[in-house]
Amino acid sequence: MATSVRSFGKINLGLKIGPLREDGFHELRTIYQTIALSDTVRVDVSKGVGIEIVCKDNRVPCDESNTCWRVADRILRSLKTRGKIRIAIEKRLPVQGGVGAASSNAVATMMALEKELKQQLPPEERLRIASEVGSDLPLFLMGGTVLGTGRGEQVYPLEDLPSFHCVIATPKVGVSTPAAFADWDKKWPAKPAKSTDQKLTDLKLTDPGSSDRISMFSRTVYEWLNGSYTPTGVPSKGWDRAEALLLDLVRTGIENDFESVVFPKYPAIREVKRALEHSGAKYVSLSGSGSTVYGLFADQESAATAAHKLTESDVPAQATVTLPREEYWKELFPGRVNAA
């Protein structure tokens, strides 16, 4: 027997990059939202030792650098158990595209391996292993709408947003996340300590204050999520609420900071944002550091048309929906299957 787990992707609804920390990571704030597009991760355990990764997509590493491998190794140590672990990954999500595929695959491995071993890690141990392997893993232990703080690994479930129609478009350009952070640091060097002979113009050239931007994000998010709960007649449920939230999202101007360094370097990605805007998307943004750009749509038909148009112009695109927490957990286990 093997255990299959759906490994859903995520998008970032706004992302603010804060100060570079002493540990080499950046403080950040973001809202993660899981989406219904998924890979499938199948894990089986037999007698013996070793971890084997199998994936037909040759962009996915099958060695110890794979996040699934790293999670499996840590779980075996944590549970003080042994076994021959086979992890088969079936890709449908963009690889290195900013939708968290590798992180999600790793968390799916965790869920599947626990089932196969018939042992559960305590929740704090799951979280420890997930955040050790990568900043984007813990969100997948929650699913739905999630606030990310710290280096992105500290996660808090938010009240779930309703499901939005959405298009995920991934131009064929590789964006490295560490390089995008480095470009950000070049663009916004840390504010120099104020000295008495410093000219005012020097200060104006520097970052308005990464800590200020971070707290501004909290305010805009608060404004956004509370805007649609006013007693002024905005419905609190159903698609009308989704539409009201979408309009408010645009109004509050929540953005992804990576756009300001990624778009100038890769104009093709900016073009995809423009194409989605012209296709009638209510809100368009880069996801993570890209290259995926997503558009949120008011209806399924315009999302499908936009995805079709982009695919025809050689930009791989898929129409999908955002996935609230309850559905995320309901659809995680498609059922046990026989090992091949």
Tell me which residues are annotated as active site: 10, 136
Nearer to ligand C5P, 139 or 276 (CB): 139
Say whether residue 323 binds ligand C5P (CB under 6 A): no
Q: What are phi and psi of 99, to 5 degrees?
A: -105, 10
Binding-site size, ligand C5P (CB under 6 A):
11
| Site track 154-193 with ligand C5P (rule: CB under 6 A), x = hit | -----------------------xx--x------------
- Which stretch in 7-15, 55-63, 134-142, 309-317 sits in contact with ligand C5P by CB under 6 A? 134-142
CA atoms of 39 and 8, how far apart (whole Å) = 6
Query: Does residue 183 contact residue 261 with C-beta atoms inside 8 Å?
Result: yes
Q: 245: helix, coil or strand?
A: helix
Nearer to ligand C5P, 207 or 248 (CB): 207
User: With left for phi above 0 and alpha for psi between -120 and 50, is residue 40 left, alpha or beta?
Assistant: beta
The residue from 7, 38, 104, 135 that contacts ligand C5P (CB under 6 A) is 135
Beta strand pairing call for 50-55 and 84-90: parallel
Query: Does residue 7 contact residue 143 with C-beta atoms inside 8 Å?
Result: no
The residue from 6, 70, 151, 273 that contacts ligand C5P (CB under 6 A) is 151
Say whether residue 134 binds ligand C5P (CB under 6 A): yes
Nearer to ligand C5P, 38 or 135 (CB): 135
| Site track 21-50 with ligand C5P (rule: CB under 6 A), x = hit | ----xx-x----------------------
The residue from 136, 183, 207, 259 that contacts ligand C5P (CB under 6 A) is 136
Q: What are phi and psi of 139, to 5 degrees?
A: -55, -30
Residue written as tokens 């990059």? 17
Query: Does residue 100 contact residue 30 with C-beta atoms inside 8 Å?
Result: no
CA atoms of 106 and 104, how far apart (whole Å) = 5
| Site track 77-116 with ligand C5P (rule: CB under 6 A), x = hit | ----------------------------------------
CA 120 to chain centre: 25
Residue written as tokens 């929740």? 123
Nearer to ligand C5P, 96 or 320 (CB): 96
- Which stretch in 8-16, 75-83, 130-138, 260-268 sits in contact with ligand C5P by CB under 6 A? 130-138
Q: 87: helix, coil or strand?
A: strand
The residues, ordered by sequence, that sit 6+ positions from 237 with a Cβ below 8 Å of its Cβ are: 162
Nearer to ligand C5P, 32 or 181 (CB): 181
Which residues make up the interface to ligand C5P (CB under 6 A)? 25-26, 28, 134-136, 151-152, 177-178, 181
